Amino acid sequence: MRFEVRPIRVEFGAELEGFDVRDLDEQDVRKLVDVLADRGVVVARNQRLAPDEFVALMRRLGPLEYSVRDEFHLPENPDVYVISNIMENGKYIGNPFDGFGWHTDMNFCERPTAYTALYGLEVPEEGADTRFCSAFRAYDLLPEERQAFLRGIQVRHSHDMLHATRRNAPPLTAEQRARAPDVVHPLVRTHPHSGRRCVYLGPKCAVPLGMAEEEGIRLLDELLALATDPGHVYSHRWRVRDLVIWDNRGMLHCATEYDRQKYRRLLHRVTVGGERPF
């Protein structure tokens, strides 16, 4: 199979045409990795993906990752994490609330997520878009002196701080906390394939070291505003059987709200672990 790549925005994003996960040879997988490094986020429509097939696809991109939270894994395939507002027997079958607010996945880990993939099984007719923007672009926009200054800054990322912002989430157990201690990452990270630099942000859960807390938060807010400029955002409007994969080592994303009383939403998610940011 040879799939085609159609840019979504000038700066980032690509739609894959003629893409079929059942028919990917090694050359296709290498091309997918290259497109992810180059375009940050890819969309493939009309994919028919059973959980096992979804997991098998993502394994080809690297070692799978297991979420810190245990309650929303697909019982028959724990490598698949479920995002949903659907209730069964008085309980949500997936995580209904996470992801609102710009972020990159698992930034609070020593080796944060490289790739995140979502697959749409049930999607609301309106709302629930997933938004993307480029942290490469934010870095590229800065004057050289500013870039050099930022390259010298380290940032503490904290899962405890992030968890405190979650809605309806029970307190973390001691074991869950021990699994995610605070970590320090550079504020500017380098993409391991392309060598391109981006600002590595952890909104609401990161504090730059070596400066007053207020000043540090102001700095991160300023960089976040630059990255998330509404004129440079791709908002993915979900259709059933969409597969969306992004590279967290350069893209920020956020979920958006929808009418939870009116619509059902069911997405499967599989994530691939990455390297220590450098």
Which amino acid is located at 150 in the chain?
L
CB-based contact 185:277 (threshold 8 Å): yes
Assigned token pair, 127: 């709302």
Asked if 247 touches Fe ion (CB under 5 A), the answer is: no
User: CB-wise, 38 or 98, nearer to Fe ion?
Assistant: 98
Bridge partner list, 253? 103, 132
Question: Which of 35, 68, 19, 7 lies closest to 247, judged by CA?
Answer: 35
Q: Give the shortest CB-28-to-Fe ion separation in angstroms.
A: 26
Which is nearer to Fe ion, 186 or 203 (by Cβ)? Answer: 203
Stretch that binds Fe ion, among 45-53, 94-102, 228-236, 257-265 (CB under 5 A): 94-102
β pairing state of 4-7 and 251-255: unpaired
Residue closer to Fe ion by CB (options 21, 118) is 118
* Interface pick for Fe ion out of 28, 38, 79, 105 (rule CB under 5 A): 105
How crowded is the C-beta side of 172, counted as CA atoms within 13 Å?
19
Q: Is 96 in the site for Fe ion (CB under 5 A)?
A: no
Cβ within 8 Å of residue 54, ≥6 positions away: 21, 80, 117, 119, 268, 270
Task: Select the span of 18-26, 95-103, 185-193, 214-222 touching Fe ion (CB under 5 A).
Answer: 95-103
Least distance in angstroms from the C-beta of 22 to Fe ion: 27
Please identify which residue in 51, 62, 99, 101 interacts with Fe ion, judged by CB under 5 A: 99
Residue 129, interface with Fe ion (CB under 5 A)?
no
Burial of residue 30 (CB within 10 Å: 0-12, 13-18, 19+) is exposed
Binding piece for Fe ion, criterion CB under 5 A, among 8-16, 92-100, 220-228, 240-248: 92-100
Q: How far is the CB of 105 from Fe ion (least distance, A)?
A: 5
Q: Which residues bind Fe ion (CB under 5 A)?
A: 99, 105
